Amino acid sequence: MQRRHLLLAGLGSLAGLALVGPSRLVLAQACAAAPTEPNIEGPFYRPGAPFRSRLVGEMASAPLVISGRVTDAACRPLRGTTIELWQADEHGEYDLDGDRYRGIVRCDANGIFRVETIVPGRYLNGGAYRPAHLHAKVHANGRPVLTTQLYFPGDPQNDSDPWFRPSLLLASGPSPCCYVPNQPHRMTFQFVV
């Protein structure tokens, strides 16, 4: 391969490469441009959850830390965003009387959030188990509320669930691989609204 072709191949492999004007190259910030898909609210939403970044008081059996960002389609952080989260407990039960495993998380000025919870249990819906999931409502200033759900890669119920969407899979965080007792699963997700 000629030297010029090698140079072009190398440039083309850079993520987010964009041409601006006839002679200027600008590296754009990597961005998940597609808006996050909405998903059903389900029957267990309760408004008025407390503001907190930990959805349960005591350390539970399958701790989970989810971190990520909320941005617009151009990767600009949406400061002032809040995320309502609600989920089943480890037995697949929702707290219908209180706020166990419910909470509202605030994003910082860079749109970054972090929440501590547990891996939710699966529950029967009709004759089939739903895959493990969390429910979310993303409130970004001046934008329609995004109601969606987050799913776990590798859950055997994903493929048979009518509401599962691959785009809503959590990604493994800095410590991928296997569950280690007393060490939290670390997952990430970027909301685009």
Residues within the interface to Fe ion (CB under 5 A): 42
Annotated catalytic residue: which of 46, 123, 129, 186?
A: 123
Active site residue 135: yes
Q: How far apart are CA 155 and CA 161, in angstroms?
A: 10
Annotated catalytic residue: which of 94, 101, 139, 185?
A: 94
| 79/165 with CB nearer Fe ion | 165
Active site residue 94: yes
Active site residue 91: no
CB of 151 to Fe ion, least distance (A): 11
CB of 135 to Fe ion, least distance (A): 6
| 42/80 with CB nearer Fe ion | 42
| 12/126 with CB nearer Fe ion | 126
Active site residue 139: no
CB of 170 to Fe ion, least distance (A): 15
Q: Catalytic amino acids?
A: 94, 123, 130, 133, 135
